[in-house]
Each structure stands twice: as C-alpha cells, then as structure tokens.
C-alpha cells in the first residue's frame, strides 16, 4: 500500500496498474518499457497539463466532434490506465472504441474485450468476432483494422501508439490525433494533432472540453482546427521541459 503522502504517489499508482495488467496477461512484453518512457517525459514536464497540450486537446476534440466516424484506438496500456475514462469520453463525443494491438494475439484481444464488457461497454470493435480488414492491402497483423471502425474511420484517436503503426494509419489518409508524452516520437511528429500529456489527465479533460464544445457553433470548432499548427505546437510542447526545470 502506497501512503498518500508519498511524493511520487500518483506516479506509483499508475505503475501499480501497469504491473497488475501485466500479471493479468493483457500487456505486451514491451509495455513496461513504453510506460517508463512516458513516465520520464511526464517527470520532465512536472506531471502537469501544459498550455500547448490544452490547445491540442481543443483542436482534437473539435475534430472528433466534426467527424463522421471517429474511432478511439485502445491497446493494453491505455486500457490499464484509463478504461472508464475512455468509455465516458467515447460516449461524450459519439466515437467508437476499437482494440488495436501492435502485437495482436487472440489471448490479449479476448482479455481486453472482456474488460470493456465488464466495465459496461458492449460494442467494442476489433474483437475476435469482428470483421477485420487490412489497411492499404498490407497483409500484416500491424495493418489490421475493424471494417466498421478504424478501416472506415475519418478520424482516429491513437493514444500511446507505436510509430510503425501510426505510419500505416497516417498513410491510409485519416485524420490522426495522438496522446503521447514524448513530443519527439515518430507518432507525435506524424500525427495531425499531438497532445503531449499523460492519458490519465488528458482524457477526463477532453471529456470536459467536449461537453463545452458541443454547445458551440460549428464555425467556432472549424476555426479552432484551422488555427492549430501541429509542428509549432510540438515545438512549444518541447519548450515546456526547459520552462519547468
């Protein structure tokens, strides 16, 4: 039991979730390494949501609200850290949720599908009984996508995504939004909108933003998206590390 007074309390709680998920068998072997990389960047920005991250969240949520078929892609880490928050956000922006694993195995897909069902979300895509297609005709497990989900989506939110997979998604011509604590990752660089924040802070904040933006005129949302420049915003995101230290 971690005492609440511990200076690294929040961070250690997240570590515990990842360790538990690993024991439960639905994380890839490299999941802890990916988490550790994220943790290091979060440490450098002071474990807070920065201004550039907020700006990217507004543009990202506006994009999702204006999309015809927005999909949230989830993997083991995302599920371990923020399953209920993801379900709530999906409902708020009317997006589908799809299991999208870099190292796709039936066992992990089954375990993650069951988790979403146990948490009250019954329509998970990318499950074992879903119709799976290949993006850009690449016959490779990395290019799999649900026919009614990522395959036909116009916008995909890909938190904590690997660069190879992000590249395949990007090449398929979709709008890509990522949540990634590393502003230098390939995924951050190739996405249309990159949110440099911890998923556990970003998703609840994005749900709040969505509730607000849903009451706004479409023109305001379009302006928000047009004013956003990912390259500039990533540069500012990186500067946050220096500003915090």
Rounded to whole angstroms, how far apart are CA atoms 240 and 77? Answer: 25
CA distances to 9, 42, 161, 181 from 244, rounded to whole Å, are 20, 11, 26, 15
In sequence order, what are the beta bridge partners of 177? 157, 193
Nearest distance in Å: CB 174, ligand ATP: 17
Q: What share of the chain is helix, strand, coil (3-state, %, to 5)?
A: 55, 10, 30
Q: Which of these ranges, 33-41, 59-67, 131-139, 144-152, lies near ligand ATP under the rule CB under 6 A? A: 33-41
Question: Does residue 181 have a known ligand-binding role?
Answer: yes
Question: Three-class SS of residue 226?
Answer: helix
Kindly tell me which of 85 and 130 has the beta carbon lying closer to ligand ATP: 85
Kindly tell me which of 13 and 66 has the beta carbon lying closer to ligand ATP: 13
Task: Return the residue of 21, 95, 112, 160 that touches ligand ATP, per CB under 6 A.
Answer: 160
Question: Does residue 55 have a known ligand-binding role?
Answer: no
Q: Packing angle between helix 31-44 and helix 9-24, nearest 10 degrees?
A: 170
Question: Does residue 165 have a known ligand-binding role?
Answer: no
Binding string to ligand ATP for residues 189 to 228, with x set by CB under 6 A, is what?
Answer: ---------xx-----------------------------
Task: Return the residue of 69, 88, 134, 163 that touches ligand ATP, per CB under 6 A.
Answer: 163
Rounded to whole angstroms, how far apart are CA atoms 175 and 194? Answer: 11
Chain residues in the site for ligand ATP (CB under 6 A): 34-35, 37-38, 41, 81, 160, 162-163, 179-182, 185-187, 198-199
């Amino acid at each position: 039991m971690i005492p609440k007074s511990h200076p690294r309390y929040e961070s250690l709680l997240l570590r515990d979730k990842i360790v538990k998920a690993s024991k439960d068998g639905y994380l890839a072997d490299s999941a802890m390494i990916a988490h550790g990389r994220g943790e290091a960047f979060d440490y450098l920005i002071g474990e807070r949501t920065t201004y550039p991250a907020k700006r990217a969240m507004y543009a990202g949520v506006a994009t999702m609200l204006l999309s015809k078929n927005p999909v949230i892609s989830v993997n083991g880490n995302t599920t371990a850290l923020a399953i209920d928050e993801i379900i709530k956000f999906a409902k708020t922006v009317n997006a589908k949720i799809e299991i999208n694993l870099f190292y796709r195995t039936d066992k992990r897909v089954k375990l993650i599908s069951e988790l979403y069902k146990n948490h009250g979300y019954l329509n998970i895509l990318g499950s074992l009984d879903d119709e799976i297609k290949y993006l850009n005709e690449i016959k490779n497990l990395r290019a799999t996508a649900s026919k009614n989900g990522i395959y036909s989506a116009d916008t995909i939110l890909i938190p904590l995504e690997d660069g190879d997979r992000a590249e395949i998604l990007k090449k398929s011509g979709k709008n890509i939004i990522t949540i990634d604590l590393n502003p230098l990752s390939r995924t951050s660089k190739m996405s249309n909108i990159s949110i440099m924040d911890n998923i556990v802070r970003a998703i609840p904040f994005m749900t709040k933003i969505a509730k607000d933006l849903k009451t706004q005129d479409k023109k305001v949302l379009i302006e928000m998206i047009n004013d956003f420049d990912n390259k500039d915003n990533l540069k500012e995101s990186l500067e946050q590390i220096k500003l915090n230290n």
